Chain A
Amino acid sequence: MFNLPPPDILLQLSLNGALGGAMYGVAAVGLSLIFGTMRLIFLAQGAMIILAAYFVRALFYGLGIDPFLSLLIVVPVGLGVGWLMYHGLFRKAAAEEDRNVSLLIAVGLMFLVQNLMTVVWGGNTAGVVTSYTATGIELLGVRTSFTRTMGFLIALAGTGLVMLFLRKTIVGKAVRAASEDMDAATLMGISPHRVNAIAFAIGIALAGAAGVAVATTFPFNPFAGFIFSLKALVALALGGIGNVTGALAGGILLGLIEAYVQFFISGGWTNAIAYGVFLAVLMFKPEGLFSRPYKKA
């Protein structure tokens, strides 16, 4: 069919795919948490990532704060914004039986954020150019971009921290319990509003971290977020809905698929194939590709 390219090209391809995919992954981790407790497909996640990217850009050009250093601002702000967002916008809808209500609030939020960004920063493509934007580094014997590598590390660290929180703290365990069975969780004395708000806070904080990664690697515009939300959903399905490490792995896998399809077939088909894989996984392995099923008693 086609000739296999030399191994160093393959490695280059895999590395770039994995590094880029980690960004979908970190967005998917946030979606996974929010979906877990609220059963809400938070379509505004991508818009929040782009908003964070603009924020990082403003901090850099306005105050001279290094984009990676701005993580220290963006992440705490994200936690607060997420918390407020839940209590201000979603708290009432969470109690509503018709879950379209919260889905539509997310859609409304997406419209609002996208267009506010257009009003404030204009609709043109923007970016963050630092002294190290064009810097390359040697990784596994292959040259790759420094900022992409940093983005990957941010994704890894973010997911790792979330995992620690979910596995080691009692509040984190409560979030996991609520994702599995909200009724049973409330019988333990767990407040749905509290876990929902925590899921939102972490989800938006992760959007903030992803925003740093996006701002330093890609040019972006106010409407670039939606495709990010879709990609994050694909990553989520690949990793298994409700599985946090799976979401990151799903993102990396999606990045690899995209890189290979782009190289071997054509850039025009990447989305179709990515969504095709998405549909196939939803239908044939809805628990995700990475879950180890335990024997049922």
Chain B
Amino acid sequence: MSNAFKWIAIVAVAALALLPFVPGAVDAYYFSFLFFVFLYAIMAQSWNLVAGYGGQISLGSHAFFGLGAYTTAILWTGNYLWGSLYDTHPGIYYFDPVTMALGGVVAALAAAIIGLPLLSKLRGDYFALGTLGFGEIVKVLFVNGGDFTGSAFGIVAPAGMFDTLRPHYWVALGLMVATALAIGALMRSRYGLAMIAVRDDEMAASANGIDVLKVKVAAFAGSAFIAGVAGSLYTFYIFHVGPDSVFDLDWMLLPLMMTVVGGTGTLLGPILGALVMYAVFDLARIVVPDYHPVISGLTIILAMLFLPKGLMRSFAGKARLA
């Protein structure tokens, strides 16, 4: 990354962080809009990590997102973490780093457990199909989870701590930046190089002493961790965690699409894709409310027909911003 670019990024993040302080500049709509852009950007980074950098097309992101969301809701409503502190500090679970990290950890563990057999046995399309099946199984497990998961209705978390979305906005922005920085650092480290090596040529990577399976499972689990944290974040926004909402396939399909539109295997592509595509969808929702899902479908098709290599590669020239 060039120096000038680094400064632009820092200024942009600072401006976004300070935005809520500008009086009258932004109303609740824009907070919610940007919150979702950040949330989808995190999910897109998650998919990009395993698929773009890792070369394993996963169709199970929604399962990990849902696992993170449920973990958060269960910890919160059952008060499994903070005991009597919860009575004196009722807001303690809001954006609690431990709760959110556990959401990620549960997702990552699930990914490691399912990833080990899947990745050792399946390649390419078969792995993609396997993750899709896994997502459906997890959903059914939660529907049949009885009181623990709230069955088909799900779990309602205590709401109403904040009368503004600013905290959500900042946390989402912070997590998006942290995810991008972490993936950027990872891809410059030898672990990142090992991932690229495995993606580009498994045989050669393994001949060079790289444990291919370990790298793949780690990338899959790392991607699931990010998705789990994103799911946790969503719980603080939506409060009602239900099987049909947090395990919705859209949590996998939309980030996948945003990544491809932005540029698979680039660091900024997922963010750019999330911004552009979410803006298009939201605009369609406002302008043509009755037809907006039609417009969404059309946008995906057009983007793929005319920008199959993604925005980053189409407009940023051949420079790899990885």
CB closest residue in chain B, given A44: B297
**A272 and B304 contacting across the interface, CB-CB below 8 Å:** no
Q: Does B201 contact A (CB under 8 A)?
A: no
Number of chain B residues whose Cβ lies closer than 8 Å to a Cβ of chain A: 42
- A115 touching B141 in the complex, CB below 8 Å, given contacts A107-B257, A282-B126: no
List A contacts of B290 (CB < 8 A): 119
* Contact (Cβ within 8 A) A111 B264: no
Chain B residues numbered 24-78 whose CB sits less than 8 Å from any CB in chain A: 51, 57
B256 at the binding interface (Cβ < 8 Å): yes
Interface centre among B121, B133, B144, B253 (most CB of A within 10 A): B133
Q: Which of B258-296 contact A (CB under 8 A)?
A: 260, 264, 290-291, 293-294, 296
Q: Is the CB of A234 within 8 A of B133?
A: yes
- Contact yes or no, B297 A233, CB < 8 A: no
In the complex, the answer to whether B294 meets A116 with C-beta atoms within 8 Å is yes
Q: Which positions 238-297 of chain A face chain B at CB distance < 8 Å?
A: 241, 268-269, 271-272, 275-276, 278-279, 282-284, 286
**A41 with B125: CB separation less than 8 A:** yes
The answer on a CB contact under 8 Å between B298 and A118 is no
| CB within 8 Å: A-B pair count | 125
CA distance A234 to B136 in the complex (A): 12
The residue that B136 contacts in the complex, of A104, A118, A272, with Cβ under 8 A, is A272
A111 & B293 in contact (Cβ 8 Å cutoff):
yes
Q: Kindly provide the distance from the CB of B108 to the nearest chain A CB, expressed in whole angstroms.
A: 20
B304 / chain A contacts, CB cutoff of 8 Å: 93, 101-102, 104-105, 108
B213 contacts partner chain A, Cβ-Cβ < 8 Å: no
Residues in chain B near residue A150, CB distance under 8 A: none
Whether A138 sits at the interface, judged by CB under 8 Å, is no
**Interface presence of B129 (CB below 8 A):** yes
Decide yes or no: A108 and B299 within 8 Å by CB, A119-B290, A272-B137 being known contacts: yes
- Whether the Cβ atoms of A268 and B144 lie closer than 8 Å is yes
Bound: A5/B289 CA distance, A: 53
Residues of A within 8 Å of B143, CB to CB, are: 268
**Is there a chain B Cβ closer than 8 Å to A164's Cβ?**
no
Q: Does B20 contact A (CB under 8 A)?
A: no
Q: Does residue B122 face the partner (Cβ distance < 8 Å to A)?
A: yes
Are A282 and B122 closer than 8 Å at their CB atoms? yes
The A-contacting residues of B in range 120-146, CB under 8 angstroms, are 121-122, 125-126, 128-130, 132-134, 136-137, 139-141, 143-144
Q: A98-B264, A104-B260, A115-B293 are in contact. Are A282 and B301 (CB under 8 A)?
A: no
> Are the C-beta atoms of A268 and B129 separated by less than 8 Å?
no
Is A92 an interface position by the 8 A CB rule? yes
* Shortest distance from the beta carbon of B153 to any chain A beta carbon, whole Å: 13
Q: Is the CB of B293 within 8 A of A272?
A: no
Name A's interface SS.
helix
Complex contacts, A111 vs chain B, CB 8 Å: 293-294, 296-297, 300
Q: Is there contact, CB below 8 Å, between A41 and B264?
A: no
CB neighbours of A15 from chain B (8 A): none
Contact A108 to B57, CB < 8 A, known contacts A119-B294, A233-B129, A272-B136:
no
**Contact between A279 and B300 (Cβ–Cβ < 8 Å)?**
no
Say which residue of B130, B136, B294 sits within 8 Å of A112 (CB atoms): B294
The number of chain A residues touching the other chain, given as a range, is: 35 or more
Contacts of B257 in A (CB 8 A): 104, 107-108
Question: Residues of A contacting B253 with CB < 8 Å?
Answer: 107
Q: Which residues from 297 to 320 on chain B have a C-beta closer than 8 Å to any C-beta of chain A?
A: 297-301, 303-305, 308-309
> Is residue B174 within 8 Å, beta carbon to beta carbon, of the partner chain?
no
Q: Which of A93, A104, A271, A276 contacts B256 (CB 8 A)?
A: A104
Partner of A105, one of B140, B144, B301: B301
Kindly state whether residue A39 has any CB partner on chain B within 8 Å: yes
Question: In the assembly, what is the distance between CA of A111 and CA of B118, in Å?
Answer: 29
CA distance A229 to B212 in the complex (A): 32
Write the B203-228 contact mask toward A (1 if CB under 8 angstroms, else 0). 00000000000000000000000000
CB-CB nearest in chain A for B301: A108
Between B128, B129, B137, the greatest number of chain A beta carbons within 10 A of the residue's beta carbon is seen for B129
- Is A275 a contact partner of B300 (Cβ separation < 8 A)? no
A186 within 8 A of B: no
Say whether A114 contacts B293, CB under 8 Å. yes
Q: Is B90 an interface residue (CB 8 A)?
A: no
A81 interface residue per 8 A CB criterion: no
Q: Which residues of A from 82 to 131 have beta carbons under 8 Å from B?
A: 89, 92-93, 96, 98, 100-102, 104-105, 107-116, 118-119
Contacts A112-B294, A272-B137 given; does A283 touch B301 at CB 8 Å: no
Complex partner residue of A282 from B133, B140, B249, CB under 8 angstroms: B133
Closest to B253 in A: A107
Q: Any chain A CB within 8 A of the CB of B158? A: no
B300 touches A108 (CB 8 A): yes
Q: Are A272 and B144 in contact (CB under 8 A)?
A: yes
A118 to chain B: closest residue by CB: B293
**Best-surrounded residue of A89, A96, A271 (most CB of chain B within 10 A):** A271
Q: Are A107 and B132 also in contact (CB < 8 A) when A41-B125, A98-B264 are?
A: no
Q: Are B294 and A108 in contact (CB under 8 A)?
A: no
Contact A105–B300 (Cβ < 8 Å) = yes
| Contact pick for B308, options A39, A98, A272, CB 8 Å | A98
A-B contacts, 15 listed (Cβ < 8 Å):
A89-B305, A93-B305, A98-B260, A100-B57, A101-B308, A104-B303, A105-B304, A107-B253, A107-B300, A108-B257, A111-B296, A112-B298, A114-B293, A115-B296, A271-B140
B positions within 8 Å CB-CB of A: 51, 57, 117-118, 121-122, 125-126, 128-130, 132-134, 136-137, 139-141, 143-144, 249, 253, 256-257, 260, 264, 290-291, 293-294, 296-301, 303-305, 308-309
> Given A93-B305, A111-B293, 4 other A-B contacts at CB below 8 A?
A104-B260, A105-B304, A112-B298, A283-B121
